[in-house]
Structure 1
Amino acid sequence: MAPLVALVAGFLAARLAGLLGFEALDAWQPSLRVGLALMFLFATAAHFHPKLRPEMIGMVPPRMPRPDVLVTITGVLEAAGAIGLLIPATTRAAAVCLILLLLGMFPANISAARRHVAQGDPIGPRSALQALFVILLALTLV
């Protein structure tokens, strides 16, 4: 739920800035990219925060090698994607890569929900959020 709050708050703040005269944000798509970037940076922080990292590592399906390294890699990729969303020349590539990353990480969410490893949303709401994030990323492509 916290990533959704970051996304909505970032979008609304960026949209307000656009309405107040910050020309680069005077449309819904740039504001959406800001909200998505903030959400992914928020998620990135969880990959490295000392209290949250063990839970993230525990979400990795047991059959995957080196869960700690996978969590680090996905955190770095989320940060790179978030930054890429904010750079006009890389927005499209970043959105596509983040969509692929979300789809690739989805099995970990299912595994975590089934094994009751991570706190947070059960599989239904978790899946709905993932789908929402993918849809919103796709909207930045149009």
Structure 2
Amino acid sequence: MAPLIALIAGTALARLAGATGSSALDGWHPALRVGLATMFVLTGLAHFAGQRRADLIAMVPPRLPHPALLVTLTGVLELAGAVGLLIPATARLAAAGLGLLMLAMFPANVSAARRRLPLGGRPVTALGPRTVLQIVFVATAAAISFGP
């Protein structure tokens, strides 16, 4: 739920900044870029520290090799994508790349839900709500990539 809150709050705050005079954020498209970047900074940083990193490593499907390396790599890609979203010249490409990355990582969500992994001391979110959230995130990336 934290990534959704970051997406919504980041977008709303950026849109508010645009409405009150920041010309770089004047419009929904730039605000969505900031919101999605905020979300990916939050999720990207989770790949590198503490219990959340251990949870992400546990989510990697058992058939994939080197789960810690995969988590590190996806974290780096998420952070790089967040930066790319904030640069108008690279925002569309970054959004497309992040959308593809989310699709590539979705099997880890399926694996975690099917194995009922406890994440952060709480039961894993069921597959249905995880899928809906993923659709929202991928749709946001698509809106940025194909938007005005």
Shorter-chain TM-score: what band?
A: over 0.9
1:77 aligns with 2:81: no
Give the counterpart of 2:134 among 111, 127, 130: 130
Runs of 4+ deviating beyond 2 Å: none
Name the amino acid aligned to 2:66. Answer: R
Percent identity of the aligned residues?
Answer: 58
Name the amino acid aligned to 1:74. Answer: T
Question: Are the aligned partners of 1:59 and 1:118 in contact in 2 as well (CA < 8 Å)?
Answer: no
Structure 1 match to 2:43: 43
Give the TM-score normalised by structure 2. Answer: 0.93
1:100 aligns with 2:100: yes
Question: Are the aligned partners of 1:84 and 1:91 in contact in 2 as well (CA < 8 Å)?
Answer: yes
Query: What runs of 5+ residues in structure 2 fail to find an aligned partner?
Result: none
- Number of equivalenced pairs: 142
Shift in Å, 1:38: 0.2
Shift in Å, 1:121: 1.8
The alpha-carbon distance between structure 1 residues 118 and 109, as it changes in their structure 2 partners (threshold 3 A), is farther
Name the amino acid aligned to 1:79. Answer: L
State the distance in 2 between where 1:83 and 1:15 align: 18
Name the amino acid aligned to 2:55. Answer: E
Give the TM-score normalised by structure 1. Answer: 0.97
Query: What runs of 5+ residues in structure 1 fail to find an aligned partner?
Result: none
